[in-house]
Amino acid sequence: MRLAGAWVIAGFLAAVGLTAIAAPETRNVLVLYSNGRLLPANVEGDRGLRETIRTSADRPVMVFDEFLDMPRFGGQAYARTIATYLREKYASRPPDVIVAGGQDALAFLLGQRTELFPRVPVVHMSVFRWFVRSNSPLPADVIGVPIELDFSSTIEQALRWHPQARHLLLVTGTTPIDRELEAQLRRDVARFKDRTTAEFLAGLPTGAVLKRLGDLEGNAVVFTPGYFRDGEGRSFTPREAVEAMAAAAHAPVYAPFNTFIGAGIVGGYMPSFAQMGRQAGQTVNALLDGAAPGSLGLPEIMPTTLNVDWRQVRRWDIDEQAIPGDAVVHFRAPTFWEDHWKEATLAATAFLLQTGLIAGLLVERRRRRLAELAEQKQRFELAHASRLAIAGELTGSIAHEINQPLGAILSNTDAADLLLESGADRRDELRRILADIRRDDLRASEVIRHLRTLLAKHPVERKRFALDDAVSDMEPMLRAEAGRRGVTLVIRPATTAVALVGDRIQIQQVLISLVLNAMDAVAGLPEDRRKVVVSVANVVRGVAITVRDRGHGIAPEHLPKLFDSFFSTKREGMGLGLSIARTLVEAHGGRIWAENGPGEGAVFHVELPAASATRPVAGGV
Residues binding other proteins (CB under 8 A): 395-397, 399-412, 414-419, 422, 429, 433, 436, 439-440, 443, 479-480, 483-484, 486
Tell me the C-alpha to C-alpha distance, in Å, between residue 525 and each of 518, 530, 601.
12, 6, 11
By beta-carbon proximity to other proteins, the closer residue of 205 and 486 is 486
By beta-carbon proximity to other proteins, the closer residue of 198 and 415 is 415
By beta-carbon proximity to other proteins, the closer residue of 416 and 470 is 416
- Rounded to the nearest whole angstrom, what is the least distance from the CB of residue 489 to other proteins in the complex? 9
Q: Tell me if residue 277 falls in helix, strand or coil.
A: helix
Q: Which residues contact 307 (CB under 8 A, 6 or more apart)?
A: 258, 261, 267, 268, 269, 270, 327, 328, 330
Q: Which of 121, 98, 97, 106 is nearest to 68 (CA)?
A: 106
Tell me the C-alpha to C-alpha distance, in Å, between residue 592 and each of 102, 327, 532.
97, 84, 18
Amino acid making up residue 243: E
The alpha-helical segments, DSSP class H, found in 90-175 are 103-112, 129-134, 151-161
Q: Which long-range contacts (CB under 8 A, 24 or more apart) does 395-403 make?
A: 396/480, 396/481, 396/484, 397/477, 397/478, 397/480, 397/481, 397/483, 397/484, 398/447, 398/451, 398/477, 398/480, 400/480, 400/483, 400/484, 401/447, 401/476, 401/477, 401/480, 402/444, 402/447, 402/448
- Rounded to the nearest whole angstrom, what is the least distance from the CB of residue 385 to other proteins in the complex? 23
- Rounded to the nearest whole angstrom, what is the least distance from the CB of residue 412 to other proteins in the complex? 4
- Rounded to the nearest whole angstrom, what is the least distance from the CB of residue 417 to other proteins in the complex? 8
CB distance 521 to 478 below 8 Å: no
Q: Tell me if residue 270 falls in helix, strand or coil.
A: strand
- Rounded to the nearest whole angstrom, what is the least distance from the CB of residue 592 to other proteins in the complex? 29
By beta-carbon proximity to other proteins, the closer residue of 136 and 422 is 422
- Rounded to the nearest whole angstrom, what is the least distance from the CB of residue 390 to other proteins in the complex? 16
Q: Which of 109, 96, 150, 145 is nearest to 125 (CA)?
A: 145
- Rounded to the nearest whole angstrom, what is the least distance from the CB of residue 602 to other proteins in the complex? 24
- Rounded to the nearest whole angstrom, what is the least distance from the CB of residue 492 to other proteins in the complex? 17
- Rounded to the nearest whole angstrom, what is the least distance from the CB of residue 447 to other proteins in the complex? 11
By beta-carbon proximity to other proteins, the closer residue of 296 and 419 is 419
Q: In what order do the strands lie in the sheet with 531-539?
A: 488-492, 531-539, 542-549, 602-609, 591-596
By beta-carbon proximity to other proteins, the closer residue of 56 and 422 is 422
By beta-carbon proximity to other proteins, the closer residue of 443 and 582 is 443
Residues recorded for the chain: 621
Q: Which of 371, 387, 391, 373 is nearest to 576 (CA)?
A: 387
- Rounded to the nearest whole angstrom, what is the least distance from the CB of residue 455 to other proteins in the complex? 17
Q: In degrees rounded to 5, what are phi and psi of residue 145?
A: -105, 115
Q: Tell me if residue 368 falls in helix, strand or coil.
A: helix
By beta-carbon proximity to other proteins, the closer residue of 50 and 479 is 479
Degrees, nearest 5: CA angle 127-286-273: 30
Beta bridge partners of 496: none
- Rounded to the nearest whole angstrom, what is the least distance from the CB of residue 505 to other proteins in the complex? 24
For 361-451, strand residue ranges (E) read none
Q: Which of 99, 83, 81, 86 is nearest to 27 (CA)?
A: 99
- Rounded to the nearest whole angstrom, what is the least distance from the CB of residue 603 to other proteins in the complex? 24
Degrees, nearest 5: CA angle 218-220-223: 145
By beta-carbon proximity to other proteins, the closer residue of 422 and 495 is 422
By beta-carbon proximity to other proteins, the closer residue of 399 and 559 is 399
Q: In degrees rounded to 5, what are phi and psi of residue 534?
A: -105, 125
By beta-carbon proximity to other proteins, the closer residue of 34 and 412 is 412
By beta-carbon proximity to other proteins, the closer residue of 265 and 519 is 519
Q: Tell me if residue 514 falls in helix, strand or coil.
A: helix
